[in-house]
Amino acid sequence: MNGQPAQDRPTPPRTAGRSGHIGVCTFPAYAHIAPAVPLMTELVRRGHRVTCFVTERFTELVRSSGAEAVVYPSRFPWADGPTGTPVENILAFFEEALAPLETVAARFDGDRPDLLAHDLAASEGARLLARSWDVPVVQLCPTIASGPGFSMSERQSREVTGPPPEPVDPHDPAIAAFVDRRKRLLAGLGLDDSPLDGFGGDDGDNIVFLPKEFQPAAETFDDRFSFIGPCLTDGSEDDGPKAERSEDDAPEAERSASSAPEAGGWQPPDGRKVVLLSLGSSYTPDQAAFLRFCVEALAGSPWHLVVTLGHRVTAEELGPLPDHVETHQWLRHPEVLRHASAFITHAGMGSVMESLVHGVPMVFVPFHIDQRVIAQQAAGLDLGRVLMRESASAAALRAAVDEVVSGPDVAAAVAAMRRHVREAGGAARGADAVERLMRRPGRPRTHPAPPTEVTHP
């Protein structure tokens, strides 16, 4: 069904004023798509048409917003992330940025959008078309943003551990083959002469799914950046973000820590305070071993530990469990967080925002470099404490949980950030930003900024 609608095009109710047509280009990872779903829902509610380009496994999620889901072909290694040579890993992202291009151009032939929105890891195709069609374009940022005063890529480079990466040979035949494919693709679509000055997504307008108070160097970000925070369901903080899975989870076979609720919903036990433990579903080589370490470290503690496993780990891999430890393959995190005293998390942005929605302090146990940046930023804001998996001890983990639960500074910081999350505006403010861009005359403004980001999915 390449390039074909995954459902009949919706006919949403029209609202007063001019309704528009918005195209959305996504990156094939749940953590990148889920934050934008409530925004698309709000745009559809206001009477706009939304056409979203996704891989097959995310069509159901997109349909839930009322948007039209159009499938494009993708070869991105979403299951485990890029695991090849440095050149192969870089090219996997570059290839994915161009993968929807032909499908998007075909779908919008004779039905041009009024605005194109794209994920920060799916920028090139959308921005080339936006320039060619002279329509506004906005970048959707599900993590810490880059701008005039902060570069996420530069900051991530400082978190790389182990031996230095192999240098990339610019004369590698794989790079030459990609450049040739790209040239032929753009020429075939009439896009080969698009100017590249001020091209990157960080040079224009951005919608960022976190409150500005969480952003590093926030004072350097101007009105091109709309920090709308995580999007909540029906404005209710108790329901948590619209996405019902944790930030790294994916539908169906990939579904993990925070999916459909079990019958009757989760309820806390009597007599013990609750700690939630989840490492998301992104591949890490130590996932089962580290979960087992956490269970053993907290075995003699007064906490009731709720562990969500995801699709990569089974309860059997953890071995016999104490009575005060329960495991779930998947479970809606808000059901637990509304009762939890602490959250031990891999520091994915969706999980961090979800915890803050419920005012729960965190112990961060990051693995990937983007998670390490998020964890360090959150800890610097006193929202929790960081433990590196490779050096954590049982005593350190128990002490970190006790500290975030009992520390008055952490409690005050979490409460303040919870207010910022609730006041950021969510989907309504994001839809306002989209409508404002659609009404703005002339081409989008451009500003110098750091290079376009390449981040781990």
Burial 137-173, CB ≥16 within 10 A → b, else e:
bbbbbbbbbbbbebbbbebbeeeeeeeeeeeeeeeee
Three-state SS at 289 = helix
pLDDT for 269 equals: 86
Question: Contact at 8 Å (CB) between 189 and 124?
Answer: no
pLDDT band at 282 (very low <50, low <70, confident <90, very high): confident
Stated pTM of the model: 0.85
pLDDT for 273 equals: 93
Q: Which of 82-86, 152-156, 271-275, 395-399 has the lowest mean pLDDT?
A: 82-86
Same fold, 21-229+425-439 and 237-423: yes
pLDDT for 199 equals: 62
Quickly count: other Cβ atoms within 10 Å of residue 49's Cβ.
21
Residue 179 vs residue 198, higher pLDDT: 179
pLDDT band at 300 (very low <50, low <70, confident <90, very high): confident
Of 110, 109, 122, 111, nearest to 53 by C-alpha is: 122
pLDDT for 75 equals: 87
pLDDT band at 232 (very low <50, low <70, confident <90, very high): confident
pLDDT for 163 equals: 66
pLDDT for 159 equals: 87
Q: Which of 18-27, 124-133, 159-168, 368-377 has the lowest mean pLDDT?
A: 159-168
pLDDT higher than 80, residue 337: yes
pLDDT band at 70 (very low <50, low <70, confident <90, very high): very high
76-104: pLDDT as tens digits: 887 666 777 788 888 888 889 899 999 99
Q: What is the DSSP letter of 150?
A: B
425-454: pLDDT as tens digits: 999 999 999 999 998 765 444 433 333 444
Quickly count: other Cβ atoms within 10 Å of residue 6's Cβ.
17
The structure tokens listed for 358 are: 């419920």
Q: Taking the alpha carbons of 454, 207, 30, 76 in that order, is the dihedral positive or negative?
A: negative
Q: Which residue has the tokens 């006919």?
A: 11
Total residues belonging to the chain: 457
Q: How many degrees, rounded to 5, is the angle at CA 436 between CA 135 and CA 137?
A: 30
Q: Enumerate the domain spans of the chain.
A: 21-229+425-439, 237-423
The structure tokens listed for 167 are: 């240098």
Question: Contact at 8 Å (CB) between 103 and 18?
Answer: no
- What topology is assigned to 237-423 in CATH? Rossmann fold (3.40.50)
φ, ψ for residue 193 (rounded to 5)? -110, 20
Cα 453 to Cα 72, 75, 97, 201, 347, distances in angstroms: 22, 20, 12, 8, 19
pLDDT band at 48 (very low <50, low <70, confident <90, very high): very high
pLDDT higher than 50, residue 293: yes
Cα–Cα distance for residue pair 98/1, rounded to 1 Å: 18
The structure tokens listed for 66 are: 């009322």
Where is 237: in which H helix or E strand?
A: strand 236-241
126-148: pLDDT as tens digits: 999 998 999 999 999 999 999 88
Cα–Cα distance for residue pair 396/193, rounded to 1 Å: 57
Quickly count: other Cβ atoms within 10 Å of residue 395's Cβ.
9
Question: Contact at 8 Å (CB) between 381 and 421?
Answer: no
Of 129, 338, 268, 119, nearest to 207 by C-alpha is: 119
**How many angstroms from the chain centroid is the CA of residue 132?**
28
pLDDT for 5 equals: 45
Beta strands in 47-176 (DSSP E): 49-54, 68-71, 115-119, 137-141
φ, ψ for residue 303 (rounded to 5)? -85, 145
341-376: pLDDT as tens digits: 999 999 999 999 999 999 999 999 999 999 999 999
pLDDT for 64 equals: 96
Quickly count: other Cβ atoms within 10 Å of residue 21's Cβ.
17
List the CATH code of the domain at 21-229+425-439. 3.40.50.2000
